[in-house]
Amino acid sequence: MTKTEAVDKNLSPEQLQDVVSRGHVYNMPFEVNQYVYMITGGRALKVVVTDIGVGSIQLNGQWYTWEEMENKGGVYEAEFDALTAIAQMM
């Protein structure tokens, strides 16, 4: 699971270009209004990213800290990645 992280010197030139073009000082893992898959109760649920913060993410209007999401199993861009994470949890 990728979290929001501060921009640093370890970004690739492509990643840095992307961050600069969006005007952020943080590297956001997802975009607002993007569909992602969150793991909850051993299932992958399709939700929409409604906002992203440095320490949290808002999914379907509810805020979760990155630590909460990590403890639940994570939030992933692709359903395959979410299902893979569920399989590894078992």
Q: Residue 28's pLDDT band (boundaries 50, 70, 90)?
A: confident
- Non-local (6+) Cβ contacts of 31 within 8 A are 49
Q: Give CA–CA dist 27/7, Å, rounded.
A: 6
CA-to-CA dists, residue 2 to 38, 78, angstroms = 12, 12
What average pLDDT does the structure give for the chain?
A: 89
pLDDT on residue 65: 96
Please state the pTM of the whole predicted model: 0.74
In a domain, 2, yes or no: no
Please state the domain count of the chain: 1
Distances (CA, A) of 35 to 7, 45, 68, 78, 79: 24, 10, 19, 9, 10
User: How does pLDDT run across 48-83, given as a tens digit for each residue?
Assistant: 999 998 899 999 999 999 999 999 999 999 999 999
The yes-or-no verdict on residue 10 having pLDDT over 90 is: no
The answer to whether 30 and 77 are in contact (CB under 8 A) is yes
Residue 57 falls inside a structural domain:
yes
Token digits of residue 49: 């990213």
Contact 50, 58 (CB under 8 A): yes
Task: Decide if 67 is inside a domain.
Answer: yes
Q: Which residues span the domain enclosing 27? A: 22-88
